[in-house]
A and B are shown apart, each in its own frame.
Chain A
Amino acid sequence: MRLSRVLDPVVSLLRERYEGKWMLLAGLAIVLFFAAMAILAPYIAPYDPTQLSVPLEKALEPQPPSWDHPMGTNKIGYDMFSRILYGSRVVLYVVITASLFSLAVGVPLGLVSGYYSGKVDRILSIIMDSIYSFPGIILAIAIASVLGPSPSNAAIALAVVYVPTYYRMVRGQTLKLTQSVFVEALRSLGYPTRVILLRHILPNTAPVILVVFGLGAADAILTEAGLSFFGLTVTAPNPDWGFDLYNGLDDFRNGYWWTIFFPGLAIMLLALGFALIGEGLSERLALRLERE
């Protein structure tokens, strides 16, 4: 029964026809495609991403895309296609862990802040606003460079950066709902605060949280790529899109476009996928608000 409460709205959402639904479907397709890549990487990758994939004499120069190497090789002879496949694991791990963590911290704080207002709200808002006032990438770089380069540390850095995004949206919604008649009615029926917050206000903010998750993850992918670019997510020779982008900078100047094109394309596509999910969902919500 609990599970069906979560699944039913999802199923009905996917069945429903509405303008902008293609965005949700396209976004889901892209994200699921990359998720499949990440899961199946060991089975479909033609080479080890951190081993020479060509004879030594060819390894001195990047090899262009061919049947053996669909995305070419880089200047140390690693297969780019295999690196893209394995790189998706790092990106998805970092971004999803970070987003879930931001959500787990930002949502409860937003609920409390919005419901109680007053002093608690004031203090939390000041803390969140001061985090929010940093440009995301700068703050992430600062935190990640203190913690040292590793995917988990990058996830922590991103999580801190995106907590205020969830907090602000949930606080705003909670504030609005707390003043709504139905919450007043619940209070008049003698509901404890805990029940009002968790069983009535939280589910009513869920759609907004989903939208923020989509758009936030899209943004986090770009920030993650930025971190990797500065070598703060993985260390050589491990594969990661942003890191490969950095490694390919010189190649591009020398005419070897493929070592930078494919990582860039992957970053862009995955960010686009999450953004489409967020936009597609918000389109649906905006429509519902108009109807009511």
Chain B
Amino acid sequence: MALLRIEDLNIDYMTLRGRLRAVKNASLTLGEGEWLSIVGESGSGKSTLAMAIPGLLLPPGRIASGRIIFQGRDLTGMSRDELRRIRGSEIGVVFQDPLTSLDPLRTIGDQMVEAIMEHRAADSKREALEMASAALESVGIPGNRVKYYPHQLSGGQRQRVMIAMAVMLKPRLLIADEPTTALDVIVQASIMRLLKSLQRKMGMSIILITHDIALAAEVSDRIAVMYAAEIVEEGPAEQVIEEPLHPYTEALIKSTPDLWREKTLYSIPGNPPDLRNPPSGCRFHPRCHKAFEPCKSREPRPTRIRGRTVACHLYG
């Protein structure tokens, strides 16, 4: 059974200038122990989609329709309290900016103990503190650092602490929203290796949100590509990278910097559309070099082809 199944999810932001659909008809399936990366540009809706899963959408964002089935239960129908109990214990989240993601006034151990006690995962503070230092050890930080304040740690270390907090209660799903964007490349690689090894050890599933398709290619089992609020292509990572079906995926791969290849970097002509007023037909057609007649008028439907899903008129 799949751990997570997202069915026809629509997410709206109510803005002063009207409704903005940030995620449109998204469907995804994530198996136990699988790593799915959602790739897309800024504003493509990838973070909104991921944050909606554990119920972390902030107003004016809201789920308009669709279902999020996690371990057989629909998260969209749950009360705030039920969702709150799932967050942190069954679904962990790691955020982009580790420098500001810890309370600056409290020691790391203090914050970890508080979270453990909040979920009643330990009987005493002492036991919770032991769990906290074990969690720190598991991400490669000496356990005695529980006494440290966030400002005493580097950015990479703080991200490790965040990961430790997210996984210490052994969640089945970890959502990592651009966890390495704020870090330098060397630290980035070590954080990715850490996530990979935690995933193997604990058998949890991971959803990684990233704009870096090269990074996604290295670590994921599956990749989903989002463009203008829609999932345009989804499939096994190697296949998506080696043989992209959707012209947008292809363009995204081509515009990844490569030291040994061309001198000038390829860039996709035009800009992502304004989601308040998306283009007719396929949302990518104004920028697509393969666009033909139906693209302008008809919306492409997601089609299954060779174990993948792609929404493009070239394939259906």
Please tell me which one of the listed residues A180, A187, A192 contacts residue B56 in the complex, with CB atoms under 8 A apart. A187
Q: Which residues of B have CB within 8 Å of A204?
A: 103-105
Q: Are B115 and A180 in contact (CB under 8 A)?
A: no
Q: Which residue of A lies closest to B59 (CB)?
A: A118
Please tell me which one of the listed residues B92, B100, B103, B104 contacts residue A186 in the complex, with CB atoms under 8 A apart. B103
Please tell me which one of the listed residues A117, A181, A188, A195 contacts residue B118 in the complex, with CB atoms under 8 A apart. A195
Q: Which residues of B have CB within 8 Å of A188?
A: 54, 56, 87-88, 92-93, 95, 166
Q: Given that A180-B100, A185-B102, A204-B104 are known contacts, is A199 also in contact with B92, CB under 8 Å in the complex?
A: no
0/1 per residue, A199-228, Cβ < 8 Å to B? 110011000000000000000000000000
Task: Give min CB distance, B223 to chain A, whole Å.
Answer: 24
- Chain B contributes a number of interface residues (CB within 8 A of A) equal to 29
Q: Are B104 and A181 in contact (CB under 8 A)?
A: no
Bound-state CA distance A203–B105 (Å) is 8
Q: Which residues of B have CB within 8 Å of A117?
A: 59
In the complex, B89 has a CB within 8 A of chain A: yes
Q: Are B100 and A182 in contact (CB under 8 A)?
A: yes
Please tell me which one of the listed residues B84, B95, B151 contacts residue A181 in the complex, with CB atoms under 8 A apart. B95
User: What 8 A-B pairs come out closest when comparing CB atoms?
Assistant: A190-B88, A188-B93, A189-B88, A190-B87, A181-B101, A185-B101, A181-B100, A189-B115
Question: Mind listing 9 A-B residue pairs with CB under 8 Å?
Answer: A181-B97, A184-B56, A185-B93, A185-B101, A188-B87, A188-B88, A191-B88, A192-B118, A200-B103
Bound-state CA distance A203–B106 (Å) is 10
Q: Are A199 and B114 in contact (CB under 8 A)?
A: yes
Please tell me which one of the listed residues A190, A191, A195, A203 contacts residue B86 in the complex, with CB atoms under 8 A apart. A190
Q: Are A189 and B165 in contact (CB under 8 A)?
A: yes
Q: Are B95 and A185 in contact (CB under 8 A)?
A: yes
Q: Which residues of A have CB within 8 Å of B87?
A: 187-190
In the complex, B254 has a CB within 8 A of chain A: no
Residues facing A in B92-134 (CB within 8 A) are 92-93, 95-97, 100-106, 114-115, 118-119
Q: Which of A181, A186, A188, A195 counts the most chain B CB atoms within 10 A?
A: A188
Please tell me which one of the listed residues A118, A184, A192, A200 contacts residue B95 in the complex, with CB atoms under 8 A apart. A184
Q: Are A190 and B103 in contact (CB under 8 A)?
A: no
- Chain A contributes a number of interface residues (CB within 8 A of B) equal to 20
Q: Which of A181, A182, A184 counts the most chain B CB atoms within 10 A?
A: A182
Q: Are A190 and B95 in contact (CB under 8 A)?
A: no
Task: Give min CB distance, A12 to chain B, whole Å.
Answer: 12
0/1 per residue, B54-88, Cβ < 8 Å to A? 10100100000000000000000000000011111
Task: Give min CB distance, A175 to chain B, whole Å.
Answer: 12
Q: Which residues of A have CB within 8 Å of B119?
A: 190
Given known contacts A181-B97, A203-B105, what 16 new A-B pairs fall within 8 Å (CB)?
Answer: A117-B59, A182-B100, A185-B93, A185-B95, A185-B101, A185-B165, A186-B103, A188-B54, A188-B56, A188-B87, A188-B88, A188-B95, A188-B166, A200-B105, A204-B103, A292-B151
Q: Which residue of A lies closest to B112 (CB)?
A: A189
Task: Give min CB distance, A128 to chain B, whole Å.
Answer: 22
0/1 per residue, A158-190, Cβ < 8 Å to B? 000000000000000000000011101111111
Binding site for B on A (CB under 8 A): 117-118, 180-182, 184-192, 195, 199-200, 203-204, 292
Q: Which residue of B lies closest to A201 (CB)?
A: B103
Q: Are B95 and A191 in contact (CB under 8 A)?
A: no
Q: Which residues of A have CB within 8 Å of B97?
A: 181
Q: Which residue of B lies closest to A292 (CB)?
A: B151
Task: Give min CB distance, A57 to chain B, whole Å.
Answer: 66
In the complex, B162 has a CB within 8 A of chain A: yes
Q: Which residue of A lies closest to B54 (CB)?
A: A188
Q: Which residues of A have CB within 8 Å of B118?
A: 189-192, 195
Task: Give min CB distance, B257 to chain A, whole Å.
Answer: 27
Q: Are B96 and A181 in contact (CB under 8 A)?
A: yes
Q: Which residues of A have CB within 8 Å of B114?
A: 191, 195, 199
Q: Which residues of B have CB within 8 Å of A190?
A: 84-89, 115, 118-119
Q: Which residues of A have CB within 8 Å of B162?
A: 185
Q: Are A191 and B115 in contact (CB under 8 A)?
A: yes
Bound-state CA distance A22–B214 (Å) is 55
Q: Which residues of B have CB within 8 Å of A185?
A: 93, 95, 101-102, 162, 165
